[in-house]
Amino acid sequence: MDLPFLTIREVSELIKRGEISPVELTGSILSRIEGVNGRVHAYISILKDEATDAAKEAEKLISSGTYLGPLHGVPISIKDIFVMKGTRTTCGSKILENFVSPYDATVVEKLKRAGAIIIGKNNMDEFAMGSSTENSYFGPTKNPWDLERVPGGSSGGSAASVAASLCFASVGTDTGGSIRQPAALCGIAGLKPTYGRVSRFGMIAFASSLDQAGPLTKTVEDAALMLNAIAGGDPRDSTSVHIPVPDYTRCINDGVRGIRIGVPREYFINGIDIEIEKSVKAAISLIEDLGGSIEEISLPHTEYAVSVYYILAPSEASSNLARYDGVRYGFRVSDADSLRDMYMRTRAQGFGAEVKRRIMIGTYALSAGYYDAYYLKAQRVRTLIKRDFDEAFKRVDVIMTPTSPEAAFKIGEKTGDPLRMYLSDIFTIPCNLVGLPGISVPCGFTSSGLPIGLQILGKPFDEETLLRVAHNYEIHTNWRERRPPI
């Protein structure tokens, strides 16, 4: 049996019945990482010893009759944005190259408590700023479907590690599409929960009013299993929401009869790849055949979302990243002759170009004389975008769109033109600005064999309906039978 290619649901059944051991399973993933990761570069750190110890621990517990649930003994990875006690957490940056965390993020704590084996920490765009994982200080991740192309970003290492079966699932973060877009470009499922559903404690901050953690998985059901483990209010994150966490797998097998699907005309615009439009429309028709009702809707302020996002996210980032000053942790220049000189050169050498660009945009937008024109203006337009969705969700239960206007692009294709790169996020950004949950699921391939993603957006805290629609689509298609040629 080729263990690494199974799903969480499948391996957890085998573990539960004692047919495979967590040690054996972890070994099979570690040896696949050894053989394949050199070509994909999905990991910044591989936690071979920690994972092996955790697997032995899991095996002992399970054989003594204590089974913790579907993640028990299952090797997963996490984006290198989550701090994990005693391990290096870099956030893809030189400035944190040697940072070892003294504590666990809540997400890490919860995964450990569920018995998951954390096998490694995934590559990412520096401080989650990017749409291609080319902004990592540690070098780019390659798309497992075509090693000359990007995996998307910023959770590109997470998506590539799942697509290439170098783990059974990963947890990434999504500020403007950083879970959903790489999931689409790598042909897997990626869920961004409602803002506040998952704790941000120990997750390195980029834009605090937009950041949210979520799973990248091979199937929608696996995403539900992962969300079960990581969701919930947290006293250490005042923006986490203290409402009960349902069992997200409970309703996924209910059909879609009677579910109202909104299709926003603003998402099918000139410039969208024709093959993507065709695949997404076919997916919408399939949901209609399965009993969903389709309604065309309008989200008139969609075209302003990218501008709003690239003012607000850098503004929040410029403030959050002020903490990297070379004093308490991370990189510091060695020959500073004053404190100011130390700050200026530590940050000049420690940050990459895109991070500097965003700090500059944000600092400018928040600076005296420009605050009203940029920052406040963007917050007002954010209200208009929110109203669009409030109106739409009076009439429909979920909204279906493409995840990305194009499939995976070539490494280096957009690095010279930041604005062009920003437009990669055009369909994923509005969801973050409004705090909605969104998922991307595979819905086909381009003629050159690259995966295409369908995005489904839901009402706040209604991940259940989202997962149900996505799961119904997935089980009535066979996209998952294709595997990347690696």
Partner 1 sequence: MRISKDAARHVAELSMIEFKEDELEKFTEQLGNILEYMEKLNELDTSHVEPTFHVLELSTPLRDDVVKPCLSSDEALESAPQREEGFFAVPKFIED
CB of 342 to partner 1, least distance (A): 5
Q: Do the beta carbons of residue 467 and residue 252 sit within 8 Å? A: yes
Per CB under 8 A, the list member of 360, 410, 412, 476 interacting with partner 1 is: 360
CA dist 186 → 60, 216, 426 (Å): 35, 10, 18
Burial (0-12, 13-18, 19+ Cβ within 10 Å), 485: exposed
Q: Rule CB under 8 A: is residue 357 a binding residue for partner 1?
A: yes
* CB of 80 vs partner 1, minimal distance in Å: 15
> Taking CB under 8 A as the rule, does residue 239 contact partner 1?
yes
Smallest distance from partner 1 to CB 119, Å: 24
Residue of 276, 280, 342, 450 interacting with partner 1 (CB under 8 A): 342
Instruction: Closer to partner 1 by CB, 168 or 422: give it.
Output: 422
- Considering the rule CB under 8 A, would residue 343 count as an interface residue with partner 1? yes
What character string, x for contact with partner 1 (CB under 8 A) and - otherwise, covers 376-395? Answer: xxxxxxxxx-x---------
* Number of helices and strands in the chain (H, E): 15, 11
Among 38, 65, 102, 485, binds partner 1 (CB under 8 A): 102
User: Per rule CB under 8 A, is residue 374 in the interface with partner 1?
Assistant: yes
Taking CB under 8 A as the criterion, the residue among 137, 145, 168, 195 binding partner 1 is 195
Task: Give CA separation, 236 vs 88, 107, 198, 201, 214, in Å.
Answer: 22, 12, 12, 6, 18
Identify which of 215, 221, 169, 158 has the alpha carbon closest to the alpha carbon of residue 192.
Answer: 215
Residue 5 or 103 with smaller CB distance to partner 1: 103
Sign, CA dihedral 12-76-199-358, equals: negative
Q: Contact between 434 and partner 1 (CB under 8 A)?
A: yes
Q: Is 187 in the site for partner 1 (CB under 8 A)?
A: no
- The residue length of the chain stands at 486
Q: How far is the CB of 81 from partner 1 (least distance, A)?
A: 16
Helix ranges, 83-219 (H): 106-113, 156-163, 180-186
426 binds partner 1 (CB under 8 A): no
Indicate whether 304 belongs to the interface with partner 1 (CB under 8 A): yes
Cα torsion for 289, 290, 291, 293, to the nearest 10°?
-60
Note if 293 is an active site residue: no
Instruction: List, in order, residues 6 or more apart from 96 with CB less than 8 Å away.
Output: 89, 90, 204, 324, 329, 330, 331
Stretch that binds partner 1, among 17-25, 108-116, 253-261, 323-331 (CB under 8 A): 323-331
Spatial strand order in the sheet of 260-264: 43-46, 117-122, 75-79, 169-174, 212-217, 189-192, 438-445, 451-458, 398-402, 260-264, 293-297
Name which position in 347, 414, 468, 471 contacts partner 1 (CB under 8 A): 347
Min dist CB 297 to partner 1, Å, is 20
Largest CA distance in the chain: 70
Number of amino acids touching partner 1 (CB under 8 A): 69
Considering the complex, what minimum distance in angstroms separates the CB of residue 124 from partner 1? 20
User: Could you say whether residue 99 binds partner 1 (CB under 8 A)?
Assistant: yes
User: Does the annotation mark 459 as catalytic?
Assistant: no
To the query of whether residue 192 is one of the catalytic residues in this protein, the response is no
Q: Is 298 in the site for partner 1 (CB under 8 A)?
A: no
Please name which of 163, 84, 167, 89 lies closest in space to residue 123, comparing C-alpha atoms.
Answer: 89
1/373 with CB nearer partner 1 = 373
Cβ atoms of 2 and 104 closer than 8 Å: no
By CB under 8 A, is residue 267 in contact with partner 1? no
How far is 215 from 170, CA to CA, in rounded Å? 6
From CA 79, how far away is CA 159, in angstroms rounded?
10
Cα(436)–Cα(389) distance, rounded to whole angstroms?
A: 9
Question: Per the structure block, which two tokens stand in for 63?
Answer: 């054989």
Catalytic residues: 79, 154, 178
Q: Which residues of this chain interact with partner 1, rule CB under 8 A?
A: 98-100, 102-103, 195-196, 209, 235, 238-239, 241, 301, 303-304, 306-308, 310-311, 318, 322, 325-332, 336-345, 347-348, 351, 356-357, 359-361, 363-364, 367, 374, 376-384, 386, 418-419, 422, 433-435, 460
